[in-house]
Structures are given as structure tokens and as C-alpha cells.
């Protein structure tokens, strides 16, 4: 099995102009929910939200943290079943879209890198559950370790975390599945602009999660999910 291939791309710079690059109402494209440059079907977002709701058994007493919430496409769907939800992202553009189009009375957005999140950002609330939808690919081993420690502190070591759509390095060439696409991957990897980010080895990621005091449970995706042929979900449960 191949080792984890860590991202070298500057994702902060990439998402800094996420809205102006694709348009103010192109909500799916703003956060990279595309296939060959075309937005995925909106129903796919509901499938992702459904996996999160079920994976964490979110209910009306939960205070939820959405890590790397982007423009709130998933956040507002989870808010419908939770007591309160905080969406956190480092992109000012995306947070402004979230506040404008995907707000709610039980929903607050915070513009900050998730690896710098503090208790003050949560208004004194202690989170009970957390998730990250399709963003672990923008992290490295080191930044994941930092993130896990922060969530452990903010939740009193009690909140499970659900990660969706983690790129699986074992299926790298199920995604780059033609000679042309493989050549594109090699070119972009060398230039530091690879389109996906970190391709995770499942065992490597599970060990990293375990070292942070969690049990790592790999969750196969619903085959109807757009990336099921090369991605997986992961539930990190406090031990």
C-alpha cells in the first residue's frame, strides 16, 4: 500500500478568491464540489449531510462544530437537526457567502483557521460533536495532529469527529485513470498545484488519529456518493 502523499499547495491562497474566481452564486464550485470542472448534482450535498447526521447521531441537544465549513452548503443542513452549530473557515469570501445565503438562528460562522480555533470563538459553548466535510485533503500529518488536540480541548475530550470524503491513496489512479490524467497529476504535483491535496493512507491516518486519543473507524461510503470510488469517510471517537 502506498504511503500518504502530503499536499504542498497553498490552500489559503487558493480559497482566498474562491468566490470571485467562479461567481457569487456558484455555490458548489466555490468549495470544489465539481467533476471535470462541472458542479456535482445538488443532491450529492444532501447525501454528505446525511452521512454526517447518521455517523454522529446528531440530535436536538447537540452543539456541533463544522470544521472548514466553506460557504455553509453543508452547515445549514446540519443546523436543521442540532441545537446550535458553529461553522469555521479561513476564507473571508466563503464566510461572507455563508452569512449571506446560509444563515440561521442557531448557526454562527467564524472566520479563522481551524488550527487556531479558541474557546472564545464558540461563545463559551462546549461542542458535543464535530465534523469536517471534504477538507481533510487540505491538511498534512502535522496540521491534523494540531487540529485533533484543539478539538479534544474544546470538547473536554468528549466529542466524536466525522470526516467525509478523504482521498484514498490506494485509489489514486482510480481518479487519475488515463495516461493523460496521470501525466497531469505528475505535472501539477511537481508544481505544487495538485488538484486534490493530500492523498491519505488509511492506516497512516488511523494511527495519527489514535495517537491523539481517539479510536479511528473507517466508514465506507454510500456507492451513490460522487467520490465513492476513491474516497472514504472516517469517524474519530474519543477513547
Long-range CB contacts (< 8 A, 24+ apart) of 108-116?
108/84, 109/69, 109/72, 109/75, 110/86, 112/88, 113/12, 114/67, 114/68, 114/88, 114/89, 114/90, 114/147, 114/150, 115/143, 115/146, 115/147, 115/150
User: What pLDDT shows up at residue 17?
Assistant: 92
What is the distance, to the nearest Å, from the Cα of residue 56 to the centroid of all Cα atoms in its chain? 15
For residue 102, give the CATH number of its domain: 3.40.50.150
Most distant CA pair in the chain: distance in Å? 52
Average pLDDT across each block of 10 residues of the chain; the chain has 239 residues. List them in order: 90 93 95 94 97 98 98 98 98 97 98 97 95 98 96 94 98 96 96 96 97 96 97 97
- Please state, rounded to an integer, the average pLDDT across all residues of the chain: 96
User: What pLDDT shows up at residue 233?
Assistant: 98
User: What pLDDT shows up at residue 1?
Assistant: 53
Specify if 5 maps to a domain.
no
Specify if 1 maps to a domain.
no
Report which of 89, 127, 124 is spatially closest to residue 110, judged by C-alpha positions: 89
Specify if 144 maps to a domain.
yes
**Structural domain count, the chain:** 1
Q: Which residues form the domain of 149?
A: 11-238
3-state DSSP: the chain helix, strand, coil percent, rounded to 5?
40, 20, 40
Report which of 196, 206, 197 is spatially closest to residue 148, judged by C-alpha positions: 206
Query: For 115-194, where are the E strands, in sequence order?
Result: 129-133, 161-167
User: What pLDDT shows up at residue 2?
Assistant: 82
How confident is the model over 14-62, as pLDDT tens digits? 999 999 999 999 999 999 999 988 999 999 999 999 999 999 999 999 9
- 124: cell is 463559551
Amino acid at each position: 500500500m502506498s504511503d500518504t502523499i502530503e499536499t504542498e499547495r497553498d490552500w489559503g491562497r487558493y480559497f482566498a478568491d474562491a468566490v470571485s474566481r467562479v461567481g457569487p452564486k456558484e455555490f458548489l464550485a466555490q468549495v470544489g464540489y465539481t467533476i471535470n470542472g462541472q458542479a456535482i448534482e445538488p443532491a450529492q450535498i444532501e447525501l454528505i449531510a446525511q452521512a454526517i447526521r447518521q455517523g454522529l447521531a446528531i440530535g436536538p441537544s447537540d452543539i456541533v462544530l463544522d470544521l472548514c465549513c466553506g460557504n455553509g452548503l453543508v452547515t445549514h443542513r446540519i443546523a436543521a437537526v442540532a441545537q446550535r452549530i458553529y461553522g469555521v473557515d479561513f476564507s473571508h469570501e466563503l464566510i461572507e457567502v455563508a452569512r449571506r445565503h446560509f444563515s440561521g438562528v442557531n448557526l454562527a460562522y467564524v472566520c479563522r483557521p481551524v488550527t487556531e480555533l479558541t474557546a472564545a470563538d464558540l461563545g463559551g459553548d462546549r461542542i458535543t460533536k464535530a465534523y469536517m466535510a471534504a477538507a481533510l485533503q487540505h491538511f498534512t500529518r502535522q496540521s491534523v495532529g494540531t487540529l485533533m488536540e484543539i478539538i479534544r480541548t474544546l470538547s473536554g475530550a468528549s466529542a466524536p469527529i466525522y470526516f467525509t470524503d478523504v482521498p484514498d491513496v490506494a485509489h489514486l489512479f482510480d481518479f487519475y485513470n488515463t495516461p493523460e490524467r496521470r501525466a497531469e497529476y505528475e505535472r501539477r504535483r511537481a508544481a505544487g498545484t495538485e488538484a486534490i491535496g493530500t492523498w491519505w493512507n488509511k492506516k497512516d491516518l488511523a494511527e495519527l488519529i489514535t495517537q491523539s486519543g481517539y479510536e479511528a473507524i473507517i466508514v465506507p461510503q454510500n456507492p451513490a456518493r460522487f467520490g465513492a470510488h476513491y474516497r472514504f469517510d472516517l469517524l474519530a471517537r474519543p477513547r
